[in-house]
């Protein structure tokens, strides 16, 4: 009998639930519901609405139940690093802070006065970024945050939602790894880091790896949705972990770019690569499925455009892309990772201001802003790929672009031009596919990631972009390195 796997995939700007079913020689994905995920600004802070996300998941489950379809299991993946505090009575204590909240500015330095930066990096192998859960927790501790002070347990977003569905508390490995709380060698929570932020392993749920069962739907959820005691499986709870599991590669000599709100560029390795060079370049070693490690770097991605679109009403992506296509090349460039783009009140103004301050022509129309974003991203990809080549244990012959951003033809072509090797784009729903894959492996319907990758490669249409205009892009790269700050 065909089995349906229900994947919940939540990103920082939107979420979706998907029903994945294996069919003859392939995988069928059906979107059940899609919904926005908003940063909520109140009282000088930014939060997520976990109850709204929960309700959307319930709605998705109800839709499937009403069709009379069966569900073999449920898996949840979300963006990284955010968490909720849970009280002794099992209740959630306040909505979770969003990682764009500025309260963690300067947080790493505050922690490093007690435990050195090198010590934190050598234990975890995780790139130092203000918003990592380690620094968020330390910020809350320093601020005597009432939720943290009353917390019995800390649950990362995917684990918190699984808890709301099952009543069972777990700490899934991939999401704990990107939190900067896991020791990269032991692959368990690192007691010394927990202690540094006033916590211990008792403050976390049962530690599980992708493929393990969290529990089954509570009676309450069964009643609300009309479903039975369906198991919830811990997938790669970190969305990037699920996405990279679904890279449609036939060998391992590739780099990937998981393209969404963030652009995550890296390679897959069998063990952590933690040395002076990775530390200096601030590369991360995130735990993945089947014991793999993602040696990667975060690059500010579609966030730049997503935020500009707030000013531009309902203009569609294809419209914006075609406006950019007709604009003059390399008119102005930005460093997408400059701090000023982390969470500005007005992204378009922030880009214009950056160009003005760096002595470049300021974008005067929408297409020029979009072109500036795409060209700058492509050039930044080249810069990160160059670093990656010197760190990677394997050659890099192809770049696989996966995730929603892989639908952007213009950016894919710019990327191939900038990096000088072929770009293979797709699948755009890699995260949901990776989520379904892990559930299918847990159900015994799939055997391993390599086999699944072959299946994705043969059954999902992929598009290859060959490098063009490489001389112009080489010149632009030199200009990029000189003009951005």
Residues whose CB is less than 8 angstroms from the CB of residue 202 and which lie 6 or more positions away in sequence, other chains included? none
For the chain, helix (H) and strand (E) counts, in that order, are: 19, 20
If binding is defined by CB under 6 A, does position 20 make contact with ligand LRH?
Answer: no
If binding is defined by CB under 6 A, does position 237 make contact with ligand LRH?
Answer: no
> Looking at beta carbons only, is 37 or 439 nearer to ligand LRH?
37
Closest distance to ligand LRH from the beta carbon of 298 (Å): 5
Q: Binding site annotation covers 124?
A: no
If binding is defined by CB under 6 A, does position 264 make contact with ligand LRH?
Answer: yes
Closest distance to ligand LRH from the beta carbon of 300 (Å): 11
Q: What is the DSSP letter of 364?
A: -
Piece of 233-241, 267-275, 419-427, 450-458 that binds ligand LRH (CB under 6 A): 233-241
Closest distance to ligand LRH from the beta carbon of 76 (Å): 13
If binding is defined by CB under 6 A, does position 79 make contact with ligand LRH?
Answer: yes
451 touches 411 (CB < 8 A): no
If binding is defined by CB under 6 A, does position 80 make contact with ligand LRH?
Answer: yes
Q: Which of 298, 376, 406, 413 binds ligand LRH (CB under 6 A)?
A: 298
Give me 129's structure tokens.
């970024």
Residue 79: φ, ψ to 5°: -60, 165
Give me 118's structure tokens.
């090198």
Q: Binding site annotation covers 409?
A: no
> Looking at beta carbons only, is 152 or 338 nearer to ligand LRH?
338
Q: Which of 5, 6, 97, 99 binds ligand LRH (CB under 6 A)?
A: 99
Residues whose CB is less than 8 angstroms from the CB of residue 220 and which lie 6 or more positions away in sequence, other chains included? none
Sign of the dihedral through C-alpha 122, 125, 129, 132: negative
> Looking at beta carbons only, is 238 or 400 nearer to ligand LRH?
238
Closest distance to ligand LRH from the beta carbon of 66 (Å): 30
346 is catalytic: no
If binding is defined by CB under 6 A, does position 11 make contact with ligand LRH?
Answer: yes
Q: Cα dihedral angle (388, 392, 397, 400), rounded to 10 degrees?
A: -70
Closest distance to ligand LRH from the beta carbon of 167 (Å): 26
212 touches 235 (CB < 8 A): no
Q: Which of 135, 262, 374, 480 binds ligand LRH (CB under 6 A)?
A: 262
Nearest Cα neighbor of 260 from 304, 316, 322 is: 304
Could you check whether the bond before residue 36 is cis, i.e. omega within 30 degrees of 0? Answer: no
Binding mask 125-164 for ligand LRH (x = CB under 6 A): ----------------------------------------
Piece of 18-26, 31-39, 159-167, 235-243 that binds ligand LRH (CB under 6 A): 235-243
> Looking at beta carbons only, is 352 or 432 nearer to ligand LRH?
432
**C-alpha distances in Å from residue 301, one per residue of 372, 380, 408:** 13, 10, 12
| Stretch (H or E) spanning 170 | strand 170-172
> Looking at beta carbons only, is 287 or 426 nearer to ligand LRH?
287
Closest distance to ligand LRH from the beta carbon of 80 (Å): 4
> Looking at beta carbons only, is 231 or 288 nearer to ligand LRH?
288
From 9, 59, 239, 474, active-site residue? 239
Q: Which of 240, 259, 332, 335 binds ligand LRH (CB under 6 A)?
A: 240
Residues whose CB is less than 8 angstroms from the CB of residue 63 and which lie 6 or more positions away in sequence, other chains included? 32, 33
**Alpha carbon 413 to its chain's center:** 23
Closest distance to ligand LRH from the beta carbon of 240 (Å): 4
**Alpha carbon 137 to its chain's center:** 20
Question: The tokens 């927790």 sit on which residue?
Answer: 137
Q: Binding site annotation covers 49?
A: no
Give me 429's structure tokens.
């729903």
Give me 72's structure tokens.
């073999």
**C-alpha distances in Å from residue 161, one per residue of 35, 97, 173:** 16, 15, 16
Binding-residue total with ligand LRH (CB under 6 A):
15
Q: Binding site annotation covers 380?
A: no
Q: Binding site annotation covers 12?
A: yes
Question: For the stretch 231-243, what's the b/e string if a residue is b when 16 or more beta carbons lie within 10 angstroms of its beta carbon?
Answer: bbbbbbbbbbbbb
Residues making up the binding site: 12-16, 80, 238-240, 261, 298, 306, 404
Cite the active site residues: 239
| Interacting residues toward ligand LRH by CB under 6 A | 11-12, 79-81, 99, 178, 238-240, 260-262, 264, 298
- Cite the annotated binding site for ATP by residue number: 12-16, 261, 306, 404
């Amino acid at each position: 009998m065909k089995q349906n796997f229900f994947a919940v995939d939540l990103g920082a700007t939107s979420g979706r639930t998907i029903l994945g079913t294996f069919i003859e020689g392939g995988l069928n994905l059906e979107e059940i519901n899609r919904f926005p995920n908003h940063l909520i600004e109140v009282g000088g802070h930014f939060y997520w609405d976990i109850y709204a996300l929960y309700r959307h998941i319930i709605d998705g489950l109800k839709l499937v139940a009403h069709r009379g379809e069966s569900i073999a299991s449920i898996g949840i993946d979300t963006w990284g690093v955010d968490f909720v505090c849970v009280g002794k009575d099992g209740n959630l204590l306040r909505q979770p802070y969003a990682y764009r909240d500025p309260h963690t500015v300067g947080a790493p330095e505050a922690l490093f006065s007690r435990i050195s930066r090198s010590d934190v990096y050598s234990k975890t192998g995780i790139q130092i970024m203000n918003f990592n859960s380690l620094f968020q927790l330390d910020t809350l501790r320093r601020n005597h945050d009432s939720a943290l002070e009353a917390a019995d347990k800390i649950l990362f977003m995917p684990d918190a939602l699984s808890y709301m569905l099952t009543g069972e508390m777990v700490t899934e490995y991939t999401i704990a790894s990107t939190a900067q709380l896991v020791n990269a060698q032991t692959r368990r929570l690192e007691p010394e880091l927990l202690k540094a932020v006033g916590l211990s392993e008792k403050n976390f749920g049962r530690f599980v790896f992708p493929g393990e069962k969290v529990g089954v739907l509570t009676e309450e959820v069964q009643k609300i949705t009309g479903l039975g005691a369906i198991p919830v499986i811990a997938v790669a709870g970190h969305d990037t972990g699920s996405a990279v599991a679904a890279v449609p590669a036939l060998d391992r000599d590739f780099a990937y770019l998981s393209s969404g709100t963030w652009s995550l560029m890296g390679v897959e390795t069998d063990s952590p690569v933690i040395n002076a060079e990775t530390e200096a370049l601030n590369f991360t070693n995130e735990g993945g499925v089947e014991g793999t490690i993602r040696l990667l770097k975060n690059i500010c991605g579609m966030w730049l455009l997503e935020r500009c679109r707030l000013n531009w009403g309902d203009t569609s992506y294809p419209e914006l892309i075609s406006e950019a296509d007709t604009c003059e090349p390399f008119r102005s460039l930005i460093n997408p990772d400059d701090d000023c783009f982390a969470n500005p009140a007005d992204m378009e103004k922030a880009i214009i201001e950056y160009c003005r301050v760096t002595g470049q022509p300021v974008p005067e129309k929408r297409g020029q802003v979009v072109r500036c974003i795409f060209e700058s991203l492509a050039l930044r990809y080249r810069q990160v790929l160059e670093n990656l080549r010197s760190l990677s244990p394997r050659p890099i012959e192809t770049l696989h672009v996966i995730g929603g951003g892989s639908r952007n033809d213009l950016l894919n072509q710019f990327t191939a031009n900038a990096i000088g090797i072929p770009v293979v784009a797709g699948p755009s729903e890699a995260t949901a596919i990776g989520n379904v894959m892990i559930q299918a492996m847990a159900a015994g319907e799939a055997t391993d990631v390599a086999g699944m990758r072959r299946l994705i490669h043969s059954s999902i249409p992929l598009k290859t972009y060959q490098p063009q205009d490489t001389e112009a892009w080489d010149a632009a790269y030199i200009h990029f390195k000189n003009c951005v700050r």
